[in-house]
Amino acid sequence: MTSQTSTEYEKYYVPEKSRLAICATIGLMLSIFGAASVMNDMTFGDPNEASSSWTIFYCGMFFFAATLFSWFRTAIRENIAGMNSAQLKKSYVLGMFWFIFSEVMFFLAFFGALFYVRNLVGPWLAGEGDGGRMNGMLWPGFEYAWPMMQTPQEAVGGAASQLVANSGTYISPHTSMAFADAHVWWHWLPLWNTLILLSSSFTCHVAHLGILAGDKKKFNLWLGITVLLGIIFLCLQALEYYEAYVEFGLTLNAGIYGSTFFMLTGFHGFHVFMGMTMLLIQLLRSVIGKQFTAEDHFGFEASSWYWHFVDVVWVFLFLFVYIL
């Protein structure tokens, strides 16, 4: 029998009542209803008809963001007030860890789609495999290569002449994101982005070492550099998208190459934005709020795990989307 007595046990703080969940629900539901309506207006709606979808979406997002702000503020204040036992802190650690795991699985769905398309679907559409003869009849003249610079639809001469039901018009890019199309290595943005993001993981780690040593100055400086590198990454990513759309003809409707490229890099970019915001908030908490000590800095630690996760995803992106 290995039980603690009740005097040794540090009570696990269970908040009594909270409006946060209901407010977050209202914000989230308004946001998704607004977002869905915006998209339906775009695809199915009458462009001349006035619609309040955007307003609903913005109201929802604002309300949601305000609730989350309040939620995290509450959690931080509880911690500062000393209400969090070591056991409760471990719950937060586990929560963050499994949240990141779920994010990994989200990216896995898109990487899985990429592998499936590149290794199986592409060759099949070009006539390989058991169904090859049928595909040969459906898409005569289609030759598979990656990056896919000609869609099956274009191979048969456009949407009007394809034999299967038409679901859209796909226009391939004339230049891909691959290194071979960049001509000079220092024009190749993904390389710079890789260097920036890898160094930001390093600077983030230096900031971590700083706070562990109780050196707030070092912590603030290196965390600031990390946030700055994150912002530079996002700017370069925006530049790359601009280049893709305007100069390369690589768009969302450029067939499966464009689809996988933008979804993978887009979701990654969104996660970089989230991670950068998280780190920025930790920086503000440290500089303005004078928070964090060598022993107690979980807000930063969790954000840094997220940042390293985003970095690892990028390494795989660089490898499978840009290089191979």
Partner 1 sequence: MGDHHHGPAKGLSRWLFTTNHKDIGTMYLWFSFSMFILGGAFAMIIRAELFQPGLQLVEPGFFNQMTTLHGLIMVFGAIMPSFVGLANWLIPMMIGAPDMALPRMNNWSFWILPPAFLLLASTLFMEGGAPAAGWTFYAPLSTTYAGPSVTYFIFCIHVLGLSSIMGSINIIATVMNMRAPGMTYMKMPLFVWTWLITAFLLVAVMPVLAGAVTMMLMDVHFNTSFFSAAGGGDPVLFQHVFWFFGHPEVYIIILPAFGVVSQIIPAFSRKPLFGYDSMVYATASIAFLSFIVWAHHMYTVGMPVAGELFFMYATMLIAVPTGVKVFNWISTMWRGALSFETPMLFSIGFLILFTIGGFTGLMLSIAPADFQYHDSYFVVAHFHYVMVAGAVFSMTAAIYFWLPKWCGRMYNETMGKTHFWISFIGFNLTFFPQHFVGLAGMPRRIPDYALQFADFNMMSSIGAFIYGASQILFLYNVIATIRAGDIVTDEKVWDGAEGLEWTVPTPAPYHTFETPPAVKG
* Rounded CA Rg of the chain: 25
Pick from 188, 222, 257, 306: which binds partner 1 (CB under 8 A)? 257
52 near partner 1, judged by CB under 8 A: no
131 near partner 1, judged by CB under 8 A: yes
Residue indicated by tokens 């056991």 = 87
Per CB under 8 A, contacts with partner 1 among 142-171 are 148, 151-153, 159, 162, 164-170
Contact assessment for residue 27 and residue 59, using Cβ atoms and an 8 Å cutoff: no
- Pick the piece of the chain touching partner 1 (CB under 8 A) from 176-184, 192-200, 256-264, 304-312: 256-264
- Write the secondary structure of 302-320 as one string of H (helix), E (strand) and C (coil): HHHHHHHHHHHHHHHHHHH
Query: How many C-beta atoms surround the C-beta of residue 57 within 10 A?
Result: 19
What distance in Å separates the CA atoms of residue 256 and residue 118, rounded to the nearest whole number?
9
Of 233, 239, 167, the C-alpha closest to 201 is 233
- Which one, 28 or 225, has the nearer CB to partner 1? 28
- Pick the piece of the chain touching partner 1 (CB under 8 A) from 16-24, 214-222, 268-276, 289-297: 16-24
What distance in Å separates the CA atoms of residue 6 and residue 192, rounded to the nearest whole number?
57
232 near partner 1, judged by CB under 8 A: no
Per CB under 8 A, contacts with partner 1 among 64-93 are 71, 87-88, 90-92
Give first-to-last CA distance, the chain, whole Å.
58
Per CB under 8 A, contacts with partner 1 among 261-300 are 262-263
Contact assessment for residue 162 and residue 153, using Cβ atoms and an 8 Å cutoff: yes
17 near partner 1, judged by CB under 8 A: yes
Q: Angle 6-12-18 (CA atoms, 0-180°, nearest 5)?
A: 140
Question: Where are the extended beta strands (E) located within 25-73?
Answer: none
40 near partner 1, judged by CB under 8 A: yes
- Pick the piece of the chain touching partner 1 (CB under 8 A) from 31-39, 57-65, 174-182, 284-292: 31-39
Q: Measured from the CB of residue 261, what is the shortest distance to partner 1 in angstroms? A: 10
Per CB under 8 A, contacts with partner 1 among 88-127 are 88, 90-92, 94-95, 98-99, 101-103, 105-106, 108-110, 112-113, 116-117, 121-122, 124-125
- Pick the piece of the chain touching partner 1 (CB under 8 A) from 3-11, 57-65, 210-218, 276-284: 3-11
Q: Measured from the CB of residue 272, what is the shortest distance to partner 1 in angstroms? A: 18
Contact assessment for residue 154 and residue 137, using Cβ atoms and an 8 Å cutoff: no
